Amino acid sequence: MERKTFFADIVLPLPIPGLFTYRVPFELNEEVSVGKRVVVQFGKKKIYTGLIFSLHENVPLQHTPKYILSVLDEYPIVVPSQFRFWQWMSEYYLCKMGEVMNAAIPAAFKLASESSVVLHPEFDRNFSVLNEKEVLIARALENNQQLSLTEISSIVEQKKIIPLIQTLIEKKVVLTYEELHEKYKPKSVVCVKMSSDYVDEKSWNQAEKMIGKKASKQVALFFAYLQLSRFDSKPHTHITRKELIERAEASTAQLQQLVKKGIFETYEHSVSRLVETDATETVDSIVLSEEQDTALQQIKNGFSKDKVVLLHGITSSGKTELYIKLIQQTLDEGKQVLFLLPEIALTAQIINRLRKYFGKKVGVYHSKYNRDEKAEIWQRLINDQYLGNPSGYQIILGARSSVFLPFKNLGLIIADEEHDSSYKQVEPAPRYHARDAAVYLGGLHQAKIVLGSATPAIESYFNALNGKYALVNLNVRYGNISLPEIEIVNIKDQLKQKKMKSVFSETLYLQMHETLNQKKQIILFQNRRGFSTRVECEDCQWIPQCRSCDVSMVYHKQINLLKCHYCGFSMAIPDHCPACGSTRILSKGLGTEKIEEETSVLFPESSVTRMDLDSTRTKNAYFDIISDFEDRKTDVLIGTQMVTKGLDFDNVELVGIINADAMLNYPDFRSHERAFQLMAQVSGRSGRRDKRGKVIIQTYNSNHPVIQAVLENKYEALCQQQLEHRKQFHYPPYSRLVQITLKHKSPETLTDAANQLADRLRKLFAKKIFGPEYPVVSRIKNLYLKNILIKFDRNAALLKNKEALKIEITAFLKDNPAVILAVDVDPV
Please say whether the dihedral angle defined by the alpha carbons of residues 549, 553, 558 and 560, taken in this order, is positive or negative.
positive
Q: Given the rule CB under 7 A, which of 18-26, 197-205, 551-559, 587-595 is the region that contacts DNA?
A: 18-26
The residues pairing with 178 across neighbouring beta strands, listed in sequence order, are 115
Nearer to DNA, 60 or 392 (CB): 60
Q: How far lies 356's CA from each of 119, 330, 340, 361, 366, in Å?
A: 59, 17, 18, 11, 20
Judged by CB under 7 A, the residue of 33, 154, 158, 304 near DNA is 158
What is the pattern of x (binds DNA, CB under 7 A) and - over residues 66-85? x-------------------
- β-strands 694-699, 652-657: how paired? parallel
Judged by CB under 7 A, the residue of 3, 57, 62, 128 near DNA is 62
Rule CB under 7 A: say whether 14 interacts with DNA.
yes
User: How far apart are the C-alpha atoms of 330 and 340, rounded to whole Å?
Assistant: 16
Question: How is residue 230 annotated by DSSP?
Answer: I
User: How far apart are the C-alpha atoms of 821 and 47, rounded to whole Å?
Assistant: 27
Please say whether the dihedral angle defined by the alpha carbons of residues 327, 331, 333 and 338, taken in this order, is positive or negative.
positive
Tell me the closest approach of the beta carbon of residue 367 to DNA, in angstroms.
21
User: How far apart are the C-alpha atoms of 52 and 32, rounded to whole Å?
Assistant: 8
Rule CB under 7 A: say whether 424 interacts with DNA.
no
Nearer to DNA, 159 or 305 (CB): 159
Rule CB under 7 A: say whether 49 interacts with DNA.
no
Q: How far lies 197's CA from each of 193, 202, 520, 645, 766, in Å?
A: 11, 10, 65, 60, 86
Nearer to DNA, 31 or 624 (CB): 31
* HSE (side-chain half, CA atoms, 13 Å) at 747: 7
Tell me the closest approach of the beta carbon of residue 191 to DNA, in angstroms.
39
How many of the chain's residues bind DNA (CB under 7 A)? 27
Rule CB under 7 A: say whether 213 interacts with DNA.
no
Q: Which amino acid is at 106?
A: P
Rule CB under 7 A: say whether 56 interacts with DNA.
no
Judged by CB under 7 A, the residue of 11, 20, 434, 828 near DNA is 20
Largest CA distance in the chain: 97
User: How far apart are the C-alpha atoms of 70 and 81, rounded to whole Å?
Assistant: 24
Task: Write phi, then psi, for 488 (nearest 5 degrees).
Answer: -100, 130
Judged by CB under 7 A, the residue of 60, 80, 334, 443 near DNA is 60
Tell me the closest approach of the beta carbon of residue 68 to DNA, in angstroms.
9
Rule CB under 7 A: say whether 25 interacts with DNA.
no
Tell me the closest approach of the beta carbon of residue 25 to DNA, in angstroms.
12
The residues pairing with 39 across neighbouring beta strands, listed in sequence order, are 49, 70
Cβ(698)–Cβ(659) below 8 Å: yes
Tell me the closest approach of the beta carbon of residue 134 to DNA, in angstroms.
12
Rule CB under 7 A: say whether 112 interacts with DNA.
no
User: b/e per residue, 670-689, with b = 16+ CB within 10 A?
Assistant: bebbbbbbbbbbbbbbbbbe
Q: Given the rule CB under 7 A, which of 59-67, 215-223, 320-328, 392-400 is the region that contacts DNA?
A: 59-67
Burial of 548 (0-12, 13-18, 19+ CB in 10 A): middle
Judged by CB under 7 A, the residue of 22, 53, 184, 478 near DNA is 22
Tell me the closest approach of the beta carbon of residue 95 to DNA, in angstroms.
11
Judged by CB under 7 A, the residue of 3, 4, 125, 160 near DNA is 160
Judged by CB under 7 A, the residue of 59, 112, 162, 573 near DNA is 162
Cβ(404)–Cβ(82) below 8 Å: yes
Rule CB under 7 A: say whether 811 interacts with DNA.
no
DSSP SS3 for 109: helix
Those residues with Cβ within 8 angstroms of residue 169's Cβ, 6 or more apart along the chain or in another chain: 120, 175, 176
Rule CB under 7 A: say whether 59 interacts with DNA.
no
Rule CB under 7 A: say whether 46 interacts with DNA.
yes
Nearer to DNA, 19 or 210 (CB): 19
Judged by CB under 7 A, the residue of 2, 4, 30, 44 near DNA is 44
Nearer to DNA, 11 or 709 (CB): 11
Nearer to DNA, 53 or 531 (CB): 53
Rule CB under 7 A: say whether 63 interacts with DNA.
yes
Nearer to DNA, 767 or 814 (CB): 814
Nearer to DNA, 65 or 775 (CB): 65
Nearest to 739 by CA among 784, 770, 779, 781: 770
Rule CB under 7 A: say whether 41 interacts with DNA.
yes
Phi-psi label, residue 690: left if phi above 0, alpha if psi -120 to 50, beta otherwise: alpha
Judged by CB under 7 A, the residue of 28, 39, 65, 752 near DNA is 65
What is the pattern of x (binds DNA, CB under 7 A) and - over residues 257-286? ------------------------------
Task: Write phi, then psi, for 325 (nearest 5 degrees).
Answer: -65, -45
Nearer to DNA, 275 or 818 (CB): 818
Nearer to DNA, 41 or 294 (CB): 41
Where do contacts with DNA occur on this chain (CB under 7 A)?
14-16, 18-23, 41-46, 60, 62-63, 65-66, 158-160, 162, 814, 817-818
